[in-house]
Structure 1
Amino acid sequence: MNTRLYTVIYGVLFVFATLQVAVEFAGLDYWTAFGVIMALSAVKALLVAAYFQHLRYEPRAITYVVTIGLVAALALTLAAAYSITGT
């Protein structure tokens, strides 16, 4: 891997993190700010997983295993949140 690509990705991650802080202070309503921050977080997570964890260059089977684990973790988190709120 070349250093230039990693530097560009690091710069994108830095800019997205800065945008997340800017959105927090922008005075948007809660759900709009939440949606923007979650979208930026998803892109950041994909970049980190793809390049810094090298999933982009692994066989697809490994990517599927990681994706299944992520979906399972999200499902358990949503189930726990649902049981705590009691609705």
Structure 2
Amino acid sequence: MADARTYTIIYVVLLALGTGKFLFFMDASPLTYQMALAGTFVLAVAKTLLISGYYMHLLEEPRSVTYMMVTALFMVLLLTIAAGYSIQ
């Protein structure tokens, strides 16, 4: 199990990533909307990996649990894509 120092560092990194997502869409940002959106997705994935790895303790679990979680995520993405396709 990680110590308080590790959790504090992860918290500060998550705070910085959240601030970065906000700064992408500021009026003074040189990024286009598509670039800001892509950057937001990348930062969201990084935040998700940090949260699931450290706060949900998936790094300490057996690999089978991690594979099960990745499979569940893949299935949710497939369902989301199918729902989006059926709406159009």
Superposition TM-score, scaled by structure 2 size: 0.92
> 54, 63, 73: which one pairs with 2:76?
73
Question: Structure 1: any 5+ residue segments left out of the alignment?
Answer: none
The residue aligned with 2:67 is 64
1:6 aligns with 2:7: yes
Measured in 2, the distance between the counterparts of 1:83 and 1:24 equals: 30
> 49, 54, 71: which one pairs with 1:51?
54
The residue aligned with 2:25 is 24
Measured in 2, the distance between the counterparts of 1:70 and 1:5 equals: 26
How far off is 1:83 after superposition? 1.6
Measured in 1, the distance between the counterparts of 2:79 and 2:70 equals: 14
Deviation string, structure 1 residues 7-30 (Cα, Å, up to 9, x no partner): 000000000000000001125222
Measured in 1, the distance between the counterparts of 2:65 and 2:38 equals: 29
Structure 1 runs (4+) greater than 2 angstroms displaced: none
Question: Structure 2: any 5+ residue segments left out of the alignment?
Answer: none
Q: Which amino acid aligns with 1:71?
A: F
Measured in 1, the distance between the counterparts of 2:7 and 2:34 equals: 33
Q: Give the CA RMSD over aligned residues.
A: 1.0
Superposition TM-score, scaled by structure 1 size: 0.93
Q: Percent identical across equivalent pairs?
A: 38
